[in-house]
């Protein structure tokens, strides 16, 4: 069965500092991987996705993520965090032949001045 683990429930970083949010997945074949961001009271916005090819993917708002098959990870990074990045971040995985996404429990990001 598929699963997605986001081990950090809450992360606090200073504005301008770098950020890495962890995501580990469990799936036998190459998954489809996504990162979404959710601001309070809002739906989920897609930051980036990985299907195949280059393992380093670029997304919107200066985010990037790296797919590491050996570690079953798809960590999200940003070199310099802005106050507006404060939100909940969800990693999700999909698989060939299935229709839905499996989401992690999310990581809440707080940005301090």
Minimum CB distance to other proteins smaller for 81 or for 94: 94
Q: What is the 3-state secondary structure (H, E, C) of 63-94?
A: CEEEEEHHHCEEEEEECCCCHHHCEEEEEEEE
Q: Which residues contact 110 (CB under 8 A, 6 or more apart)?
A: 10, 11, 12, 13, 86
**Applying CB under 8 A, does 24 fall inside the site for other proteins?**
no
**Applying CB under 8 A, does 46 fall inside the site for other proteins?**
yes
Residues between 90 and 109 that touch other proteins (CB under 8 A): 90, 92, 94-96, 98-106
For the CB of residue 41, give the shortest distance to other proteins in the complex, in Å.
7
Q: Using CB under 8 A, which of the segments 33-41, 57-65, 70-78, 79-87 binds other proteins?
A: 33-41
Residue 65 to residues 42, 47, 74, 97, 99: CA-CA distances in angstroms?
23, 10, 6, 24, 23
Residues near other proteins, by CB under 8 A: 4, 32, 34, 36, 41-46, 49, 51, 90, 92, 94-96, 98-106
């Amino acid at each position: 069965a598929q699963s997605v683990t986001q081990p950090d429930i809450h992360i606090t970083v200073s504005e301008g500092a770098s950020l890495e949010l962890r995501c580990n997945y469990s799936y036998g074949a190459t998954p489809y991987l996504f990162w979404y961001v959710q601001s309070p009271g809002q739906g989920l916005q897609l930051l980036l996705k990985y299907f195949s090819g280059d393992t380093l993917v670029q997304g919107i708002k200066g985010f990037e993520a790296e797919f590491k098959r050996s570690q079953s990870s798809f960590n999200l990074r940003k070199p310099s965090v802005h106050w507006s990045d404060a939100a909940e971040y969800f990693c999700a995985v999909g698989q060939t032949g299935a229709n839905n996404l499996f989401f992690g429990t999310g990581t809440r990001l707080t940005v301090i001045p």
